[in-house]
Amino acid sequence: MIIAIDGPAASGKGTLGKRLADHFGLEHLDTGLLYRAVARVLLDQGTPLTDRDAATVAAENLDVSHLDDPRLRGAEMGEAASVVSAYQPVRDALLAFQRQFGVQEPGAVLDGRDIGTVVCPQADVKLFITASAEERARRRHRELLNRGEETDYETILRDIRRRDERDINRSTAPLKAAEDALTLDTTHLDADETFQAALVLVEGRIPRNQDLASR
């Protein structure tokens, strides 16, 4: 069983993915962390993010055992990841790992920008999670403040809009909903309400005579 969750930055897809995975007894992968980890390698090396070849080498040799590094959740790494994720060779290097993760038993939940369209187009359930740029900026602002990072709302809003523009218009795996995806706007929903709404959508796609966790 594969649940694919796509959507723009700070739409709540990561939190939702983790909760759905826990609920159904599946593994969860925030694929955005892979690109953040690639960006971290370049930044640690002092290599420009515009160095496509260096980014590709970093992706090909990525150590996925450190995706829990708190640095990957910061605003700087999010912006940097948006740059390196536009490189086709980087995406190619990470694609096999993501697909292998998706087909493990009993199943998996993957969230990102192109899960339902590129990584797992055969996913049993595809969700596209969105929210207004202003609400997403408020969420990210609150998250960073709670983490003790110095930031301001207007800067984050500009960053959100810039990343949306880059992700939607890139030639490589642009951010978009799969044709058979179910769209959920979380602008006016909190985390619990989002989970409950998504649960209804997911269960609506599961055959009545089958138990999700056994698929």
Parse the chain into domains and list their residue ranges.
Answer: 2-206
- Checking if the pLDDT of 206 tops 80, the result is no
Structure tokens at 142: 């609150």
The pLDDT tens digits for 96-152 are 999 999 999 999 999 999 999 999 999 999 999 999 999 999 999 998 888 888 889
- Annotated binding residue at 204? no
- Annotated binding residue at 11? yes
- Checking if the pLDDT of 211 tops 70, the result is no
The pLDDT tens digits for 37-53 are 999 999 999 999 999 99
In this prediction, residue 207 carries a pLDDT of 63
- Annotated binding residue at 8? yes
- Annotated binding residue at 12? yes
- Checking if the pLDDT of 210 tops 80, the result is no
- Annotated binding residue at 13? yes
- Annotated binding residue at 55? no
Whether the bond between 8 and the residue before it is cis, its omega within 30 degrees of 0, is no
- Checking if the pLDDT of 33 tops 70, the result is yes
Find the mean pLDDT for residues 187-205.
96
CA-to-CA distance for 46 and 92, rounded, in angstroms?
A: 23
The CATH superfamily label for domain 2-206 reads P-loop containing nucleotide triphosphate hydrolases (3.40.50.300)
- Annotated binding residue at 151? no
